[in-house]
Amino acid sequence: MDGDLRSAVQQFLTALEAERGFAANTIAAYRNDLEQFCTYVQSPPAEDHIPAISQWSELTEAHLSTYILHLRGREYAASTIARKTAALKSFSAYLVERGITRIDAAEKLSAPRVEKYTPRSISPSEIDQLLAQTARAAADNRPEGLRDQAMLETLYSTGMRVSELVALNLPDVDLERRVARCTGKGGRQRSVPLRTSAINALRSYLDHGRPRIAPNEEQALFVNHRGSRLTRQGFWLILKAYARQAGIQDITPHTLRHSFATHALRHGYELRDVQQMLGHVSISTTQVYRRIATPTPAAEPAAPGE
């Protein structure tokens, strides 16, 4: 399997160098990007729910789009994702040209903008509109509505990555202590506070929603309608549906993380505290939010962690 995938990559790189005159640095970058993708598709994370492949003819759009989500979830820079996307698009076109695949699986793959990165957040009023949609869905006591309200309240309350949110297990949430424990990059664990609205939503979901869809042996906190762990892709589809109802455009799960950080700083949180809640190793990563965090009028809603 390994040889089949990587031999095609090597042939592609040789063609770039010989036929298109690509610079050595570009070839090296493409090699690194495509070998990383090979490793991913050979053994995708279980939570991504895509099949491993042994030959490029098995490659689908889902492999590529899920991989880009995987990179975003690990907080790769937009410029890095753009470069990796370019490598994947070029390689996918090569596979079609050589008759290895019938369709260009990367044809619809889009790269992020690469100008100076400023995290996109939404306003507190838009957060209220979004959460109001989940409250409406939870009002009829359906398990999925209760789950959705608990998920979005928890995500905005804590600033977790969506990968951390869907990885939560039942013991990771302590409603009495008002904290959730999540595992971030490098296996680093941290505890994050839960605001009252998140606690109430979680309690309703755990009491009245989750028992109706999750089997007793399932440890995942958030489950799909089949009772198994919800995926990042599943959450993204749910979020987009509520955002559409609220009239909010261009939103991703990371938008809520950015909004949490921005709103916390606007309400006077110390940068070090926000760094700890986000799970950033370096405070310089957190400092980017200072560019979009401006003083908050007194009438704005409570800070995310309150």
Any idea which residues carry the catalytic annotation? 161, 185, 254, 257, 280, 289
Calculate the alpha carbon distances from 131 to 126, 213, 281, 304 in Å.
Answer: 9, 23, 30, 12
* Separation between Cα atoms, residue 204 and residue 139, nearest integer Å: 11
Q: Which residues contact 182 (CB under 8 A, 6 or more apart)?
A: 158, 160, 164, 165, 167, 168, 172, 189, 190, 192, 279
Q: Which residues contact 263 (CB under 8 A, 6 or more apart)?
A: 121, 124, 127, 296, 303, 304
Helix (H, G, I), strand (E, B) or coil at 93: helix
* Separation between Cα atoms, residue 202 and residue 208, nearest integer Å: 10
Buried b (16+ CB within 10 A) or exposed e, 243-271: beebebeebbbbbbbbbbbbbbbbbebeb
Question: Cβ(275)–Cβ(283) under 8 Å?
Answer: yes
* Separation between Cα atoms, residue 209 and residue 224, nearest integer Å: 11
- Among 301, 275, 297, 277, residue whose Cα is nearest residue 288: 275
Token couple for 101: 């695949």
